[in-house]
């Protein structure tokens, strides 16, 4: 110990310090990301003989080897020790109890019963051997690595109880990491088996990762004793030399780590059992958050649901952004409000053999994504947080789980991120993961199609006239596959009846929007380079805003759209696998007035259902039997239902 004390360069006086970095989004003015530290960073060491020492690093913001002092503050310590916010110390005893203590600068706080600790849990002994797999951030959130999972915990000091949801899974795929260290509010550095550090940052309120699996351009090796004083200021001990190293991470800077080696600020630190630091001695401000500003998007296609229990439900948003369910009652139709207010709704997915259906929506007030499930005739809500700007999309995979996709373009056009939130096999939802090119401004409602357990996703890129497309499998981050051959308005996917995917959209031909189709390549590696125009004879030669397409049981494709004179038309392909279509068939009356997107769906009895609206409250519904063999016309019946 005396060797280390002699090696400390003691500072005569210390003051709080600040360093500011300017960062910018694409095409925007620089924004300040500022790191501020208290006069000292409090570093605690637990010795092999049970002594606990406090060392005060006097230059945590810049990393010089200046120290303000050291003192002995405890004895009889064992197990595993790690620090949290504002002097809080956590200790896992050798029998697995988790204790909370607090060093106030001059001594230890006293807890009820006159003792200097509070036992807040038991069964934590796994971290006596997996010492690097538990950490706590500046907010008091504890993070643990358990097998493939990242979990969170929060002890409410006012109620003296664990917060609801504690122990929940934040993410999967963490089995490749052998240690994790928290810094600030949700900042995480995870170390893989090679020693490389991967950056994550989790926003607890939105249950969302703002930074995900970022490997910086300038790398710094994560050593066994790796800890943070907050504000992305980190320390590590080199086991081969015993040197104490300092470094600082800049999430918004392409260099990321200040240096690739760290700065040596002390020696003889190699014999400590645990080394840890108060996680609030440094703070960082100006990092990207989620200033959600949901869009007032009311014109969405109607969701058609026909559950096994009977009846038909037409779900959509109305003028005041409420979501309504217009449903058959046996003697007529009734309309109920499911919830409000919302940006819009997704296409529904059926999740079981009983016809249980799920639609997703984004809350107008604060951007929370919600799932609304129709089960047994009753609607049930599941909140997924998220802070999204646009209506989400939900899909059902072959492993019987859901994946929800949403976009948050931050309203200031500086960032436009797209996220996925996956349901796990146990029914829980992991946190939102960002994906895609972080320099692109993704915008709009994600377009998805799931084949087995592989989901194809298309996203608009603001201001470029381009789209990116991705492939996604359960438990992974969606992978960008390239630039999607963009339609001029709207994209919808369906199967081609032979295992492939067809994309339908509207292409501008001499100033007129024409329906068009794009094939997936035979090897499923991507899509053809150009769209094939589908001949139309629907009056005025064009279409409005949206079309829909659906694979029918006989292997053909049904397609619906609105003409420029506001009438509803349908066509079907001439044969299974073909992209040639029969002449268009007008389904709606000549009075027109249809301005809402059309929707196609199969009922529980195998009929083709077609829906549209003439205003917020006037629903129209038609149904037609699906012939066993391809037919040039379908026999629709129905009309306005309310």
Average pLDDT over residues 150-176: 97
Could you identify the residue written with the tokens 């196609």? 600
How does residue 569 score in pLDDT terms, banded at 50, 70 and 90?
very high
Q: Which residue has the higher pLDDT, 104 or 25?
A: 104
Residue 25 scores a pLDDT above 60:
no
Q: Please give the Cα distance from 460 to 419 (Å, whole number).
A: 14
**Which strands make up the sheet holding 282-285, listed edge to edge?**
17-23, 31-37, 282-285
Mind giving me the DSSP string for 70-108? EEEEE-S--SEEEE-STTEEEEE-TTS-EEEEEB-SSSB
pLDDT in tens, 185-244: 999 999 999 999 999 999 999 999 999 999 888 889 878 799 999 999 999 999 999 999
pLDDT at site 412:
52
For the record, the structure tokens of 251 come out as 């999430």
pLDDT in tens, 272-314: 999 999 999 999 998 887 656 666 665 678 999 999 888 999 9
For the record, the structure tokens of 299 come out as 């014109």
> What pairs with residue 299 in β-bridges?
none
Residue 401 scores a pLDDT above 80:
yes
Q: Where are the beta strands (DSSP E) in 299-392?
A: 303-305, 313-317, 323-328, 333-339, 342-345, 349-350, 357-363, 369-375, 378-383
> What pairs with residue 495 in β-bridges?
501
Query: Looking at the domain that runs over 34-285, which CATH code has it been given?
Result: 2.115.10.10
Average pLDDT over residues 158-170: 97
Structural domain spans, the chain: 34-285
pLDDT at site 219:
87
User: Measuring CA to CA, which residue among 191, 228, 189, 180 is closest to residue 84?
Assistant: 228
How does residue 253 score in pLDDT terms, banded at 50, 70 and 90?
low
Q: Long-range contacts: 141-147, Cβ < 8 Å, 24+?
A: 141/182, 141/186, 141/204, 142/90, 143/170, 143/180, 143/182, 143/188, 145/174, 145/177, 145/178, 145/179, 145/180, 145/190, 147/175
Average pLDDT over residues 545-568: 91
**Which strands make up the sheet holding 244-248, listed edge to edge?**
225-230, 233-237, 244-248, 263-266
Residue 510 scores a pLDDT above 70:
yes
- Mean pLDDT, the chain, as a whole number? 90
pLDDT in tens, 417-467: 899 999 999 999 999 999 999 888 898 999 999 999 999 999 999 888 899
pLDDT at site 470:
99
pLDDT at site 357:
94
User: Measuring CA to CA, which residue among 451, 477, 481, 478 is closest to residue 468?
Assistant: 481
User: Measuring CA to CA, which residue among 349, 337, 342 is closest to residue 368?
Assistant: 342
Q: Please give the Cα distance from 228 to 238 (Å, whole number).
A: 15
In terms of C-beta density within 10 A (0-12 exposed, 13-18 middle, 19 or more buried), how is residue 193 classed?
exposed
Q: Please give the Cα distance from 490 to 520 (Å, whole number).
A: 17
pLDDT at site 17:
62
Report helix, strand or coil for 243: coil
How does residue 24 score in pLDDT terms, banded at 50, 70 and 90?
very low
Q: Please give the Cα distance from 40 to 14 (Å, whole number).
A: 7
């Amino acid at each position: 110990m005396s060797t280390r004390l002699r090696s400390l360069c003691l500072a005569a006086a210390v003051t709080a310090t600040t360093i500011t970095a300017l960062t910018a989004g694409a095409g925007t003015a620089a924004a300040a990301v500022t790191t501020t530290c208290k006069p000292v960073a409090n570093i605690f060491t637990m010795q092999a003989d049970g002594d606990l020492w406090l060392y005060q690093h006097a230059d945590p913001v810049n990393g010089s080897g200046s120290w303000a002092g050291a003192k002995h503050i405890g004895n009889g310590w064992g197990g595993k020790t790690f620090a949290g916010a504002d002097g809080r110390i956590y200790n896992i005893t050798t029998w697995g109890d988790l204790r909370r203590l607090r060093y106030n600068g001059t001594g230890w706080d006293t807890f009820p019963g006159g003792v200097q600790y509070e036992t807040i849990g038991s069964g934590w002994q796994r971290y006596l051997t997996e010492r690097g797999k538990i950490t706590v951030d500046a907010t008091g959130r504890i993070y643990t690595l358990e097998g493939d999972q990242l979990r969170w915990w929060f002890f409410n000091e006012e109620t003296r109880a664990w917060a609801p949801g504690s122990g929940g899974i934040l993410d999967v795929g963490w089995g490749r990491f052998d240690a994790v260290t928290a810094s600030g509010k949700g900042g995480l550095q995870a170390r893989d088996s090679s020693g490389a550090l991967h950056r994550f940052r989790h926003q607890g309120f939105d249950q969302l990762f703002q930074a995900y699996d970022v490997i910086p351009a300038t790398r710094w090796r994560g050593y066994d004793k790796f800890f943070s004083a907050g504000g992305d200021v980190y320390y590590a001990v080199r086991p081969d030399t015993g040197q104490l190293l300092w470094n600082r991470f800049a999430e918004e800077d392409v260099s990321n780590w200040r240096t690739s080696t760290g700065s040596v600020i002390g020696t003889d630190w190699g014999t400590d059992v645990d080394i840890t630091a108060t996680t609030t001695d440094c703070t960082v401000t100006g990092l990207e958050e989620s200033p959600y500003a949901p869009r007032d998007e009311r014109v969405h296609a109607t969701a058609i649901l026909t559950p096994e229990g009977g009846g038909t439900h037409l779900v959509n948003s109305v003028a005041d952004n409420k979501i309504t369910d217009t449903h058959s009652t046996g003697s007529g139709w009734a309309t109920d409000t499911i919830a409000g207010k919302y940006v819009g709704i997704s296409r529904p997915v059926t999740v079981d053999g009983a016809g249980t259906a799920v639609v997703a929506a984004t809350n107008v007030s604060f951007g929370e994504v919600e799932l609304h499930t129709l089960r047994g005739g009753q609607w049930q809500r599941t909140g997924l947080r998220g802070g999204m700007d646009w209506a989400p999309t939900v899909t059902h995979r072959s492993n019987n789980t859901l994946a929800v996709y949403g976009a948050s373009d931050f309203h200031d056009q500086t960032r436009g991120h797209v996220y996925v939130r996956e349901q796990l096999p146990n029914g829980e939802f992991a946190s939102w993961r960002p994906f895609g090119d972080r320099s692109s401004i993704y915008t709009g409602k994600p377009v998805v199609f799931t084949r087995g357990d592989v989901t194809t996703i298309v996203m608009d890129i603001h201001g470029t006239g381009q789209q990116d497309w991705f492939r996604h499998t359960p438990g992974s981050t969606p992978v960008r596959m390239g630039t999607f051959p963009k339609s001029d308005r709207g994209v919808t996917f369906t199967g081609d009846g032979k295992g492939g995917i067809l994309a339908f959209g509207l292409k501008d031909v001499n100033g007129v929007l024409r329906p068009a189709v794009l094939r997936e390549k035979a090897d499923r590696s991507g899509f053809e380079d150009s769209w094939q125009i589908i001949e139309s004879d629907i009056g005025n030669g064009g279409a409005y805003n949206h079309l829909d397409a659906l694979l029918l049981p006989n292997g053909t494709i049904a397609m619906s759209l609105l003409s420029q004179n506001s009438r509803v038309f349908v066509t079907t392909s001439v044969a299974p696998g073909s992209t040639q279509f029969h002449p268009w068939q007008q389904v709606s009356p000549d009075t027109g007035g249809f301005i809402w997107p059309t929707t196609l769906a199969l009922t529980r009895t195998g009929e083709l259902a077609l829906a549209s609206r003439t205003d917020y409250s006037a629903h129209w519904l038609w149904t037609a039997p699906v012939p066993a063999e391809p037919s040039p016309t379908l026999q629709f019946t129905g009309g306005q239902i309310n």
